[in-house]
Structure formats: C-alpha cells, structure tokens
Amino acid sequence: MSGERTTTVLVGVTGGIAAYKSCELVRALMKRGYRVKVVMTDAATRFVTPLTFRTLTNEPVAASLWEDDPSAPVHHISLAEEADVFVIAPCTANVIAKIAQGRADDLLTTAALATEAPIVMAPAMNVHMWRDEATQENVDRLRDRGVVFVEPESGELACGDVGEGRLAPVEAIAEAVMAEAERAQDLAGRHILVTAGGTQEPIDPVRYIGNRSSGKTGFAIADEAARRGARVTLVTGPTHLADPFGVEVVRVQTALQMHAAVMERAEDVDAVVASAAVADFRPAEVARGKIKKTAAPEAIALVRNPDILAELGARQERPVLVGFAAETSDVESNARHKLEAKRCDLVVANDVSDPALGFGTDANRVAFVTRDGVEWLPMLSKRVIAREIADRLARLLGGADVE
C-alpha cells in the first residue's frame, strides 16, 4: 500500500432509527480526509435514502446485490477489496448475528464476509436486544475474530426504554475508524520473520521427538503483520494450518533446518517473532532403517540443538526480538530470565500448566514481559493476542517506515 493512496472507508448502514446519524459519521470521516463509500441494507434505505449518501459522498451508493447499472460499478467483491476499513454504524442485532454466522444474503453482509479490511461495528438497538444472550454471544464471537466494537451508550432509546443500546457518539466511531486505518499501515515497509509450530527431531525414518505446539499463534501473528503492511516470512515446523494470505512460508521439519532458514534471512529483517516451540534436543544419531521392536535401544542419546533466538540476541546488530516463554511455574520470573538471557525486547509468557490454555487451543492468557515490567492480558483469542503483539511490535519498531 503506498502512502499516496487515499484511504477508503466503507460505511455500512443497517436498518435502525440511528441510520440518520450515519450521515454525520460520513461527514466526520470525509473531514478527516478519507474517501468514503456507503453500502446500505434494504431496511436502511427505509430510514435514509441512498440519494442522501450519494450526495454527501459523491460516490455511488451500494444497496442491492442485483444492481445492473453500468454507471454505478458497485460489485460486492470490489467493494470489499476497495475498503481499507469497513465500519458498520448503526449495526443492528440481526446484522451482527448474520455476520457472526458468516451469512451473506445482501450486499452489506457479502462485503463483510469478503473483505480483508478491519471491521468496526457500532451497534444500536433496544436495550433488551443488546443484552440478550444471543446478541452478546455473537458479539463475543466477532470480537474473537478481531472485529472492533464501539459499544453503545446508555440513555433514552427510540422505543421509549432507557438503557444501553444508543449508538455511540459519532466522534467516538470516527476515532475508532481512524485507529484501525493507522493500524492497517503501521508495519508498512518492515520485514518481519516469524517462527512457528513445533520442530520434529527424527529418531528413525518413521519416528520423531516432537511437542504439542499447533502453530496457531505464529500463523496468526504472520497474518496480522501482513495485514498491517509488513513483508512477512514465516518459518514453520509441520502444521495442518494453511498458508496465511500474502506471507512467504518456509516449511521445515527439524530445529537445525529452522535454524538454517532463519539465519539465512536474519540480516535482512527488522524483527523476529520467535513463537516456535523448537526442540532443545535431538537424537544424537538417526537410525537409517526403522527400529524394530525386537531391537529397541535402551536409551536414546540426545544432543543440544542451537538456540535460534539466543543466537540472534547475541548479534551485534540484532533485529527487534520477541520471544515466547511457555512455563508451568514462576511464569513471570522465568520469562524475565529469558528476556535477559536471550536479549529480547519483549517476551510473551504463558502458563501451560492449565490444559485449557496454550498448546492447540484457540484462546490463551498471556503476559507481556519487558525491561519496564509485566502486563497480564485477559483471556483472548489467538487472533486478538496476535493483534496485541503486532501493536507492541509497531511501537518497538518506532512507527511505520512508509516510503
């Protein structure tokens, strides 16, 4: 993404009485210099006409999947691709539910499913609808997937009820959009190398020593960094995960192969995020043929593998380094020790003694350990943890280096 291009914000308007406030939101975004395009649900067009938005934005307004007007090139995929940020305000309970389920039965929900851009939702609805368990579950699910919510406010609602459900102030929504637009570029011009997954250390042609790392966190970080404009190289041990979009993926099996793949590229990178669970030891000898049970060895001699992160930390010109510490006790002090021993800028620590957390799960509770202190995060999805790590990484790299 070049610095020259105007950032495009796609504003989704759904059918609620607060739809009239979307006009103010459009103006607030245009005042900030964004190009604004509007997509409406059918219900929204009953509250505000597409002509209003067309006049405000000077752009065609998208409302139907079936529009066939050649002067209004509003195809759902092109809309999704054009958007740098997609903000849905007001967002009804129904649209939240549809997007949470991945339904795409109109232009707005289709664009939400198709876009790679960050999504901001500003819900507005009756207080009981907002508090309903179904709505709250849908909100949680979307939050886990990275959707940013601008929470509704408390006050008198259009239906006469009093409580939460009123659309957040337009300025607060515009600020959230701005934060996402900045985030979407804050790693531009950077080259980030991520290690992920566990390594496998062969014993013979069919057996290996391995660990329970799924690679999910590393893949999520690589994906997040690429979305935010970085050039990303992902060096991963064997996993079942698909290559993240726009990321160079180098698949390896052993610690020695991972070490070689990282060192080959280390000169060229601004930061290394070492999320891989690298085996500390490998069998001293790998049997050429399958070891038969009649000839089982009494013991397998092991030798140390090189420590990739420590080796990078020992370099004179080292990239920004983020290490991981999976601990079963004394999480903070062990992580701090790793921070110092491997000369990292940040260590992401977690407690793997709880089987519900860590390896293979979709959520985790981590602490960020730096020279300045420790910060525990709440329980978050790996996707959201990846976003938090990328936020810290952008700060450590000192802002975007956009040419």
- Tell me the CA end-to-end span of the chain in Å, nearest whole number: 10
Examine residue 147 and tell whether it contacts ligand CTP (CB under 6 A).
no
Asked if residues 46 and 74 have their Cβ atoms less than 8 Å apart, the reply is no
Residue 23: active-site member: no
Helices 19-31, 50-57: inter-axial angle, 10-degree rounding: 10
Tell the smallest beta-carbon distance from residue 383 to ligand CTP (Å).
20
DSSP 200: -
Site string for ligand CTP, 224-263 (x = CB under 6 A): -------------------------------x--------
Residue type, 279: A
Q: Which residues of 346-357 are buried (b: 16+ CB within 10 A; e: fewer)?
A: bbbbbbeeeeeb
CB of 100 to ligand CTP, least distance (A): 34
Supply the minimum distance, in Å, between the C-beta of residue 12 and ligand CTP.
Answer: 40
Distance CA 205, CA 305 (A): 19
Per CB under 6 A, which of residues 327..356 are in contact with ligand CTP?
338
Closest distance of CB 326 from ligand CTP, Å: 6
Give the nearer residue to ligand CTP in terms of CB position, either 21 or 282. 282
- What lies within 8 Å, CB to CB, of 60 at 6+ separation is 37, 54, 71, 72, 73, 74
The nearer residue to ligand CTP, 125 or 325, going by C-beta atoms, is: 325
Site for ligand CTP in 36-65 (CB under 6 A): none
d(C-alpha 377, C-alpha 387), whole Å: 12
Binding mask 266-285 for ligand CTP (x = CB under 6 A): --------x-x-x-x-----
Binding marks (x or -) toward ligand CTP, 157..196, rule CB under 6 A?
Answer: --------------------------------------x-
DSSP E strand stretches across 69-139: 85-91, 119-123
Question: Maximum distance among all alpha carbons in the chain?
Answer: 82
Binding mask 302-331 for ligand CTP (x = CB under 6 A): ---x-xxx-------------xxx------
Q: How far is the CB of 187 from ligand CTP (least distance, A)?
A: 20
Query: Given the complex with ligand CTP, which of 106 and 327 has the nearer CB atom?
Result: 327
Beta strands in 167-319 (DSSP E): 191-196, 201-202, 208-209, 231-236, 248-251, 271-274, 281-283, 302-304
**Residues at the site binding ligand CTP, with contacts judged by CB under 6 A:** 195, 255, 274, 276, 278, 280, 305, 307-309, 323-325, 338
Residues with a known catalytic role: 159
